């Protein structure tokens, strides 16, 4: 019989875990699994983070009306797989919860619970305390998994860094500031006037 973990202190933070372990965790804290290691997520996002997420969601959702793609907002599990291994839950060691992601391949959503494989586009909105994780560890993970486009949104700098996957490596585009219009490389119909995203609360 499967045994649920109800307190994060029951876990060994130095141990390597898989998705099969992750689904048994029923404690209050939100965590991500990065190459088998547990990373505690930041506390509930602040108002600025929430507003930026909501504005991006509204704009992107409207832009994708003619596409058979799904837009998901955190919390939503994305299981990134090693292309050389199977998609067995015992062989998935990375589970992330991006702020927003777009998935066009319905097969990646087949179990109705999560995405298994790389989304087409991932957006992470930086919060105090998570900048290093998003800029470093997740950058490598998303590149390795084959996420076609990755945005890093900085509320404090009012900028968006866009990385496009070319021949397996991310190419950084010129940073987009609040005075510019951002156009996705993967979804050209997504055009975002960043003034509408970074307006004062």
Asked if 42 and 21 count as a contact pair (C-beta separation under 8 A), the reply is no
Strands 37-40 and 31-34, sheet pairing? antiparallel
Rounded to two decimals, the pTM is: 0.93
Asked if 177 and 158 count as a contact pair (C-beta separation under 8 A), the reply is yes
Q: What percent of the chain has pLDDT over 70?
A: 95
Domains detected in the chain: 47-80+93-196 (3.90.1570.10)
Mean pLDDT of 118-128: 93
Q: How confident is the model at residue 131 (pLDDT cuts 50, 70, 90)?
A: low
Asked if 7 and 27 count as a contact pair (C-beta separation under 8 A), the reply is yes
Q: How confident is the model at residue 133 (pLDDT cuts 50, 70, 90)?
A: confident
Cα atoms found within 13 Å of the Cα of residue 67, Cβ hemisphere only? 19
Q: How confident is the model at residue 149 (pLDDT cuts 50, 70, 90)?
A: very high
């Amino acid at each position: 019989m499967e045994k649920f973990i109800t307190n994060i202190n029951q876990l060994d933070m130095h141990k390597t875990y898989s998705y099969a372990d992750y689904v048994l965790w029923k404690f209050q804290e939100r965590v991500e699994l990065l190459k088998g290691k547990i990373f505690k997520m930041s506390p509930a996002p602040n108002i600025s983070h929430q507003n930026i997420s909501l504005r991006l969601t509204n704009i992107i959702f409207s832009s994708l009306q003619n596409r058979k793609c799904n837009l998901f907002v955190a919390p939503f599990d994305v299981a990134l797989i090693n292309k050389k291994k199977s998609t067995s839950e015992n062989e998935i060691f990375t589970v992330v919860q991006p702020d927003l992601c777009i998935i066009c391949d319905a097969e990646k959503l087949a179990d109705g619970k999560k995405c298994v494989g790389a989304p087409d586009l991932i957006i992470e909105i930086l919060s105090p305390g998570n900048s290093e994780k998003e800029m470093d560890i997740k950058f490598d993970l998303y590149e390795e998994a084959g996420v076609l486009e990755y945005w890093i949104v900085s509320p404090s700098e009012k900028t968006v860094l866009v990385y496009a996957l070319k021949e397996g490596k991310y190419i950084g585009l010129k940073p987009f500031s609040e005075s510019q219009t951002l156009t996705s490389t993967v979804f050209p119909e997504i055009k975002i006037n960043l003034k509408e995203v970074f307006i004062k609360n």
